[in-house]
Amino acid sequence: MLQLPVLRDEQALNAMLQRALPIQVRPYTPGQPLVQRVRQALASHPQCGHTAASLCAQLHLAPRSLHRQLQQQGSSLQQLKDDVRRHRALHLLHRSDLPLKRVAQACGFASEKSFGRAFVQWTGQAPGAYRQAQRAR
């Protein structure tokens, strides 16, 4: 019996294939959302000036795929970089006595002035004023 050819009509063959396809082929689902993976990559070396190219190499993605997938998840690379930098800056200003220039470097800023402008945009306060207000509490 095993040597005999299987005889099926086209309709039966199509029905069998339609049932077999979902069993054999599973849709790709990443272990972690890309936003979370990018955040982790940025936070692992916050003092580095991460670029799209360096992150793509680290995450094994093409630059276009990185930007497209982040956009699909409702984010952007610049938003994530700003979030990680802001969180690190707030933490360092609140919990350390590092000079502002060192805080800026630790957050990946090239200069203290660019750090100050970004910090004012994030919080509405200069970094030094924020630190004093936190210590007064």
CA distance 45 to 56: 15
Inside any domain, residue 22: no
Q: How many helices (H) and strands (E) are present in the chain, helices listed first? A: 8, 0
Q: Which of 99, 92, 89, 95 is nearest to 120 (CA)?
A: 89
Residue 11 in tokens: 């309709």
72 in the same domain as 86: no
Q: Give the H/E segment covering residue 3.
A: none
With tokens 């800023």, the residue in question is: 109
Residue 14 in tokens: 């199509």
Q: Which of 73, 89, 75, 91 is nearest to 121 (CA)?
A: 89
Q: Quote the pLDDT of residue 26.
A: 67
- Give me the tens of pLDDT residue by residue for the chain, a chain 137 residues long: 788 887 778 888 888 888 887 777 766 666 678 999 999 999 888 777 778 999 999 899 999 999 999 999 999 999 999 999 999 999 999 999 999 999 999 998 989 999 999 999 999 999 999 999 988 87
96 in the same domain as 68: no
Q: How many domains does the chain have?
A: 2
Inside any domain, residue 54: yes
56 in the same domain as 104: no
131 in the same domain as 116: yes
Q: pTM of the entire structure?
A: 0.71
Domain carrying residue 43:
34-76
